[in-house]
Structure 1
Amino acid sequence: MTTDVAAVLERMRATDAGLPYGDGVAVFTRVYACVTGEVERRLAGGEFTDRAVAARLAVRFAGRYLAAVEDDAAGRRPPACWRPLFTLRAHPGVRPLQFALAGINAHVGHDLALAVLDTCRATGLGIGALEADFDRIGEVLTAIEERVREDLMPGPDLLEAADPLTHLVGSWSLARARDAAWAAARLLWALRDSPAAYDECVSRLDAGVGLVGRLLLTPARCGRQSSGSSTGASSS
């Protein structure tokens, strides 16, 4: 299954290569490639409770994002959680940090919970069996998010312009998003035999995460400026 993680990583790199460097989807894709590369490294190092199950979770998690990208490129309607990023991906007033956090919000807030359910169905395991590996993937996300904030936040010379941005991105927490994703996964697991309630819960989750994403992408008053980054997530 580690080879499957490598395959989705290559798909991410191909997606990034086909987009303008400052495109909002490209910014998030580069961040996500860093996450997936770190998951691949930890899988190879035996850091997960069940390597095969963790790899399945990582692949299904990534697959939901890649499917949304493909839907958008083909003119199909992606999930509501991804629409703000796809719609505002070229907006000159949205900074790279906002694109990165909006993508993390959509992927963790919506896709992660559904990927847990996908993995439970594929493996026949109960949700409790995935909790430890869910937490380990969350640790990787947290480490990358810290780097993203450090690398993409405007420098002191832009402090006045960045003040509203600081407030905006400081209002969103990955830790809370992870906790909410696990709570959503548990709720969906409990509703798995009640299709109507399950579908309504998924729909409302999607819409709510999409609303947060739209707020995260509120345009700053000034245009984008280039910034270097170890994640490669900067604007042109």
Structure 2
Amino acid sequence: MKPIESIDDVILILDSIIEESLKTASTQGYFAVLYQKVTVKVKEEIQNNYFDDGPRMEKLDVVFAKRYIDAYFAWKNNEPVTQSWAIAFTETRNSNLLVVQHLLLGMNAHINLDLGIAAAEISKSNNIAELEDDFNRINDILASMVDEVQNGLSSIWPFLRKLLSWLGQADNLLLDFSMKIARNGAWKFAKEIAAVEKVDWPKTITVRDKKVANKTRLITDPGKVIRFLFRVIRWTERGTVADKIEKLRR
């Protein structure tokens, strides 16, 4: 794999992960599709001068993306990854999970752990506050993708939007779990890790990783009622893994 130095490099590598997932019918493609959509949007907004500091945001995007990409290839090569990613990748083999659960597992590891680390990496401990406004703009972009993702999910499960409407969660299923947590928890963690000496980062990351990994139980075992509703959604699921990846990709 060639070095990742730009946002275009990130988009190309994500495309290769998606293509590999299509060939192997791997559910890992679900998160890769979502992430590529977000990355393309970030690139567009950098070009539109949406951020206070476009070059800094491209650097953040690259550092952030590398944590997922490095974890993806490490996992494929049976190398160690964070506990959060280990659970997310392991669960890609679980045929009982819905697409939305796979997406949430990826978001949990990447947003709730990786985003704070990436933000701290591109900031010195005495100026990370300067990043906060652009950090929040990244989260606004993530939130803006929710409707697009849920439209893709609804094409896989026509019953999904109606069911979520009954629950009053049609627009907040992904938003509440990941985007709001990212705006609060990930930023708090970014400041926390930026404030400690680099030699202490591994310990700080391990503590955070354990907390983030524990959140996966809310996704994989959400309780009897939600589990039943997920089962109902599953009954209406359409298409193969590759079909679902393509629908999310549109």
Q: Same fold (TM over 0.5)?
A: yes
Instruction: Normalising by structure 1, report the TM-score.
Output: 0.82
Question: More deviation in 149-158 or 106-115?
Answer: 149-158
Letter of the 2:26 counterpart: D
Contact 2:28 2:89 in 1 (8 A): yes
| Alpha-carbon contact 2:112-2:181 (below 8 Å) kept | no
Question: Unmatched 5+ residue regions in structure 1?
Answer: none
Structure 2: state its 5+ residue gaps.
222-226
Determine the structure 2 residue equivalent to 1:52.
55
Deviation at 1:9, TM superposition (A): 0.6
Pairing partner for 2:31 from 28, 32, 35: 28
Once superposed, which parts of structure 1, at least 4 consecutive aligned residues long, lie more than 4 Å away? 157-160, 227-231
**What are the within-5 Å matches in structure 2 for residues 1-236 of structure 1?**
4-20=6-22, 23-120=26-123, 126-152=127-153, 154-156=157-159, 172-192=177-197, 195-196=199-200, 198-218=201-221, 220-221=230-231, 223=234, 225-226=237-238, 232-233=247-248
Q: 2:116–2:187: 8 Å Cα contact kept in structure 1? A: yes
State the secondary structure of the residue aligned to 2:212: helix
Contact 2:21 2:29 (8 Å CA) reproduced: yes
Shift of residue 209, structure 1, vs aligned partner:
1.2
Instruction: Tell me how far apart the structure 1 counterparts of residues 62 and 133 of structure 2 sit (CA, whole Å).
Output: 17
Matching residue's letter, 1:120: S
Q: Between the two proteins, what is the percent identity of the paired residues?
A: 22
1:30 shift after superposition: 0.2
Normalized against structure 2, the TM-score is what? 0.78
Distance 1:77 1:55 in 2: 27
- The number of residues matched between the two structures is 227
Decide whether the 8 Å contact of 1:48 with 1:136 is kept in 2. yes
User: Structure 2 counterpart of 1:131, which letter?
Assistant: E
Q: CA deviation at 1:65?
A: 0.4
Structure 2 CA distance for partners of 1:88 and 1:210, relative to 1, 3 Å = same
- The root-mean-square deviation of aligned C-alpha atoms, in Å, is 3.2
Q: Relative to 1, partners in 2 of residues 1:89 and 1:103: Cα closer, same or farther, differing over 3 Å? A: same
| Counterpart-to-counterpart distance in 2, 1:63 and 1:28 | 14
